[in-house]
Structures are given as structure tokens and as C-alpha cells.
Chains A and B, each alone.
Chain A
Amino acid sequence: MTDAAVAKPPRNQWWDVWDQFKSHRGALISAVIFIAIILIVLIGPMIWPYEPTKTDIRNKNMRHMLSCFGLDWGAIAGCLVNPTESGIKVSWWHPLGTDQLGRDLFARMMFGGRISMAVGVTAMLIALVLGTAVGVISGYFKRFDWALMRLTDLFLALPLLPLLLVMVMLFRAPLSATFGTEQGIFILMVTAIGITSWMPTARIVRADVLAIKEREFVLAARSIGTRPRKMIMRHLLPNVMSPIMVSATLGIANAIITESALSFLGLGFPPDFPTWGRLLNDGVQYMQAYPERVMWPGIFISVIVLCVNYVGDGLRDALDPRIRGL
């Protein structure tokens, strides 16, 4: 019995994490969908022949290919094979349809996805770095604890959505002038979302650091004269990795939703620069005649966020050693 246990080759702990993660079916499926969407969004625009901003007024207001299924039973197959003869304005070249200026919605969706993902990941990284720094410093150095935690409380008491709206309104013009319209707004969005969403991470990391600080291995490390810098990098950070990873996944979802909400309220990216929130906002005007224009971006935002939430759920279980052993 013990021999068998000893004979088993030592294994990286991440394999255990992966095994546990695999057993959460929802999380696994979500991870696959998430990666698939990322790949489509990254590679798609290189292959797809249409530019997201290329207008083609002759092919404006095209419907999506699914509208073939709204035809009579006999006509569906014909419509799918030869869309131009079907009587409705559909084409395989524009599977999701085109907008009021004839811009291809598939290209716009892919391009918008790139921006939304980029905003989500970058804002999450900023929030993560800030939150981890605040959490580790206030947990490890007692003299900063009180001040940093009061700061966190103050930030938690700020009305975030109104403040984000105000920040976007204020800094849009100066930043656009300095960095160019797109880069300026990207920087603005990412920073604004980042500095308003680091607080939960800071609290979780601080609590974990406080607990780990009292453990024997930290005492041992200190007794051989480890410097605080080394102590944090070597001993504390690896041990608080799991809550950080979980809040990273949830942070992406939060950032994507916030960016879309701001774009939806008309205070995000400019109209000719599509993001999913912006496309949704543009589609609202044409909602009655072309409901698909709000459906595509809305569905993609929801699916991405749902996947990210499930992955976060699975990661939390997988990284928790108490559950993993079972």
C-alpha cells in the first residue's frame, strides 16, 4: 500500500488542479467556448475578406442567414444553397447581415470582440496588480495596514458607475488629443475600469497574507534572514496565487460588462470603432426591423461573461486543496 504510494512518480501540483478542473463539466465546456471565441476573434479578421469599417451602400440592411428558416418549408433549402434567388436579402458573404451603411456585421463582431477582450484583459491586469500590491503590502507590513484598508473602504463607498461616466466624460477629449482617438479612449477605459475594481482582490489577498504570515515556513524563512522583498516574491505570492487567479477570471467578466455598459450609454468608444457594447447601442435604433443587430453583440457579451464565470467557479474548486483531494 505505502509502497505503491511511494512508487508513484512525483507530479506537478498543476496536474492535480487540471484533473479537478476537468471534473467540473460546466467549467470545462465554458473554457473550450471561451478559447474558441478568442481564437475566432484573433484570427478571424485576418482571414475574413471584409473590413469592419468598409461601407457598401448597395448591400445595406442585409438579413442574417438564419432568416432563411423563416421562409416556407420548401424554400429553406433553396435559400441556403442559393441565397440571392430566395427573395429575401441574404448572402453567405454576410452571414450575420450588414448594417445601415452596408458594413459586414460578422467583421464588425470579430473586430468588436477583439477590443472588448483587450479592454477586459488589460483592465483586469491593472486591477489585479493594484489589488495584489495593496493586499500584500497591507497584510505584510503592519504600519501600512490601517491606512491602506481605510483607502479600500473609501473606494468601496464610491458610486462607481456614475464616477466612471464622469471620468470618461472629463478625460475623453484630452486623452484623445494626446494619443489619438482610439488609443486615448482605450487607455482611458482600461485605467478607469482598473482603478475602480481592485478593491475585492486587495481584501482577499490581505486576508490570505495575514493567515500565511503566521505559518511556520514563513518563520523559518525569516529566521535565516530572508528580506521582505524576497519573502513576498518567494513565499507569500505563490501561496496566494489561487484567490488571485479566481479574481482574475471574474475581473475579466466585470471589465467586459463595464466597458459594454459605458459604450451602451454612449460614453465609450466612438461609433465608427466597434465594440460589442457600441454595436448593441447602434442596433437599438433598428431593433424593430432588424432585431438581430442587438442580438449578436448581446449574445456574445452574455456568453463570454457566462463562460468566464463558470471558469472562475471551476478554478475556485480546482485550486482549493481541501476539495481537490476528494
Chain B
Amino acid sequence: MLTFTIRRLVFAVPTLLFIALVIFLLLELAPGDPMAQVPLTVPPEVKEAMRQALGLGEPVPIRFWKWLVQFFWIEPQVFIDWLTNKSFLFGWLPDTDVYVPCSDATRAYCDQRVISWQTRSPVMDIVMQRMPQTLTVVGLSYVVGILIALPIGIYSAYRQYSVFDQVGTFVSMIGYSVPPFFSGVLVIVVFSVVLGWFPSIYDTTHRVTDWDSFVYQVKQMIMPVMVLALQTTAQISRFMRASMLDNLNQDYVRTARAKGMTEWVVVLTHVLRNSMIPVVTVIALGVPAVFGGAIITEQVFKVNGLGQLLITAIQANDLPMVQTITFIFAILIVLFNLIADVLYGVLDPRIRYD
């Protein structure tokens, strides 16, 4: 199992490099000019110097290499410094100083970070600012979706073709089919415009300090979380049902019943544990897709998370930002594919990759 994991990890490196290259070459074709916003009174030689400062003058392979160095070598240094100096978890460690900022003119050498063309600040700083919003909304919706999906899947398999099962099938079909940009708008129309229960715009500056502000936070999170959770629920409850049905007719279930075990033990201990194996991998595989879906949901509810950052960066032709965020999504996909494969091997002793 360990060799398999290591082999997969090693194979993930060329995959990620290839994806980074594809994104980079695609963005290379972009017609946008980062100097387009600079006033016309700025002389051309100054503009040229500004382009050089943004690292634009050099040939493509060198720029790709520099981006790789920035992303995989310099940004982790910044992150380590941040962890040991400021973070809540590892602040007790001795302060490190691996990153050399360019603002410090006393040193001969300095590390250039990935700079956004839009804001002229490091891309990863902005990403870290936006990350909590995306994680709370997306992460919570995924957890809620799974928690709703599992009991539905178990019960509809146990009572196959019952009314509950039929309704569950229909509802999950709807969950599949209604795109989030419509279900989001629909719940806004119903619950914000007509009923006025929840705010239609997610306020990220809101801080939870007391009970009332907590209630407001819950209110503003319900709609985006439920819209995203509907999709998760639809998919995972179907998988759970199919997987339970595969196991319910197995011989060991009959044996367990023949031994005189209660239905509760048979279904929830014997069948459920075996049925969870494929479902867990599906749950792991679904994580990146949920991040992708959050791009649209964030746009609908005006959550200023990663997805919204990507859209504004695309509209503003901010190529380093687009490159970095797209690549972060790619890392998520590759990582969770790997986790799913490894989990499958760990959970199911019949599967041996070696």
C-alpha cells in the first residue's frame, strides 16, 4: 500500500507540471495587456520598465520556470514564515526567516513572489484572505449534504421501490438537473424577495460576537449552503442507495439474519460498513467538483470567495491570479483523486494494487 501511495505521489508530479504548462500556455495567448490601465501620459520607456518589473519581457520557458519557482519554492517559504511567526497553531515554534522580502534593501538577494496585475500585491495573500469564506460555505455545505444523503440512501435501499424510495429518486433527479445558478436564484426569489426571511447577499465583513450576530451568520449561510448541499445530496444518496442494494442481497447478510441478529445490527453494522467503501471514495472524489460548483454559487450569493476572485481576475485580465487559482483547483483535483485511490485500497482488503 505504501509503495502504491508513493508511486501515485510520484506520478502526480508530472501530471501537475503538465497541467501547469497547459494553463500557462493557454494564458500565453491572452490578448490583454497589464499596462492597459496605465495613463497615456506615462512615457513608453517607463511603461517598458514597468513591464520588465512585472517579469513580462522574458521568453516563455523562462517565465514558466520562474512561475514554477515562485509557486513551489518561494510561496511555501512565505507560508512557513507565516506559520511560525503569526499563526495560531504553530506560533510557539521558533520564528523562522526563510523568505527574503524585496522591500528589505539591505540584502543583496531577494525573493520575488507571484504578483497580481490587478492589485500589485502578492496573489497568495489575496487567496489566503478569500479562502475562509469559500471554506466555510463550501466545506459546511459538503458536510451538510453528506449528512443528509447517507440516511436517505440507506433508507431508500432498505425499502426499495417504496414511496420514500420513489420520492427520493425523483428529488435527487431534480437535484441533478436544476443547475445551481437557477436553484440559487430561485431560493433568493422565494426566501429573500417574497418571504423576506434571509438576506440575499452574503456579508463577509460580518463578525460573530454575540448570540444575535451568530443568528445573523446562520441566516446568511443557510441559502448558499443548502443550494450547494442539494447537489451533493443528490449524487451521494444515489451512490449510497446503489451500494447498499449491492450488499443487501449478499450471503453474509442472510447469515447475519440467520444468526438472529436484529435488523438494526444487520443493516447498520454489517451492510453499512461494507457499502461505505465505494461511497467514501465518491465523497473524496466530489470535493474538487464542489469547489468548482462554488464558483457559480458564490457569484449568485455575492460571496467574495475564491470563485468570485477567479471571475473578477478573468474579467480584469489578471493572468498571474488566474494561473494561480486555476492551478490550485488542479492541485485539489489531483490530490483528492489520490486520496480516493488510497482510501479505496485501505478500506477494502480485497483490493491490492501491488
A residues with a Cβ closer than 8 A to B are: 153-154, 156-163, 165-167, 169-171, 173-174, 253, 257, 260-261, 264-267, 277, 280, 284, 287-288, 291, 294-295, 297-299, 301-302, 305-306, 309-310
B220-251: CB near A (< 8 Å → 1, else 0) gives 00000000000000000000000000000000
Residue of A nearest to B169 (CB): A26
The answer on a CB contact under 8 Å between A170 and B26 is: yes
Given contacts A302-B177, A309-B173, whether A157 and B26 have CB atoms under 8 Å apart is no
Given contacts A157-B333, A167-B26, whether A280 and B177 have CB atoms under 8 Å apart is no
Main SS at interface, chain B:
helix
Residues of A within 8 A of B135 (CB): none
Instruction: Report how many residues on chain B are interfacial, defined by Cβ distance under 8 Å.
Output: 43
Give CA–CA (A174, B295) in the complex, Å. 26
Give, as a whole number of angstroms, the nearest-CB distance from A229 to chain B. 32
Residue of A nearest to B311 (CB): A265
Does B282 make an interface contact (CB < 8 A)?
no
The answer on a CB contact under 8 Å between A157 and B23 is: no
Residues of A within 8 A of B333 (CB): 156-159
- The 7 tightest CB contacts between A and B, nearest first, are A159-B329, A298-B182, A306-B177, A305-B177, A162-B326, A264-B181, A302-B178
Task: Pick 5 A–B contacts, CB within 8 A, sort by A.
Answer: A157-B333, A158-B19, A174-B31, A280-B182, A306-B173
Give CA–CA (A306, B177) in the complex, Å. 5
Give, as a whole number of angstroms, the nearest-CB distance from A83 to chain B. 24
The answer on a CB contact under 8 Å between A260 and B178 is: no
Give, as a whole number of angstroms, the nearest-CB distance from B29 to chain A. 5
Residues of B within 8 A of A267 (CB): 314
Give CA–CA (A153, B295) in the complex, Å. 23
Residue of A nearest to B327 (CB): A159
Residues of A within 8 A of B22 (CB): 158
Give, as a whole number of angstroms, the nearest-CB distance from B160 to chain A. 16
Does B322 make an interface contact (CB < 8 A)?
yes
Give, as a whole number of angstroms, the nearest-CB distance from B281 to chain A. 15
Residues of B within 8 A of A169 (CB): 30, 314-315, 317
The answer on a CB contact under 8 Å between B189 and A161 is: no
Residues of B within 8 A of A261 (CB): 179, 181, 296
Does B90 make an interface contact (CB < 8 A)?
no
* B31 contact from A161, A165, A170, Cβ within 8 A: A170
The answer on a CB contact under 8 Å between B177 and A309 is: yes
Residue of B nearest to A291 (CB): B189
The answer on a CB contact under 8 Å between A260 and B179 is: yes
Does B186 make an interface contact (CB < 8 A)?
yes
Within 317-340 of B, Cβ neighbours of A (below 8 Å) are at: 317, 322, 325-326, 329-330, 332-334, 337
* A284 contact from B178, B185, B315, Cβ within 8 A: B185
* A162 contact from B179, B194, B292, Cβ within 8 A: B292
Residues of B within 8 A of A302 (CB): 174, 177-179, 182
Given contacts A257-B179, A298-B186, A305-B177, whether A161 and B292 have CB atoms under 8 Å apart is yes
Given contacts A162-B326, A167-B26, whether A157 and B19 have CB atoms under 8 Å apart is yes
The answer on a CB contact under 8 Å between A157 and B177 is: no
The answer on a CB contact under 8 Å between B174 and A306 is: yes
Give CA–CA (A144, B292) in the complex, Å. 32
Give CA–CA (A161, B27) in the complex, Å. 15
Give CA–CA (A299, B177) in the complex, Å. 10
Give, as a whole number of angstroms, the nearest-CB distance from A288 to chain B. 5
Give, as a whole number of angstroms, the nearest-CB distance from A175 to chain B. 12
Give CA–CA (A162, B326) in the complex, Å. 6
Give, as a whole number of angstroms, the nearest-CB distance from A261 to chain B. 6
The answer on a CB contact under 8 Å between B337 and A295 is: no
Give CA–CA (A298, B187) in the complex, Å. 12
Give, as a whole number of angstroms, the nearest-CB distance from B118 to chain A. 14
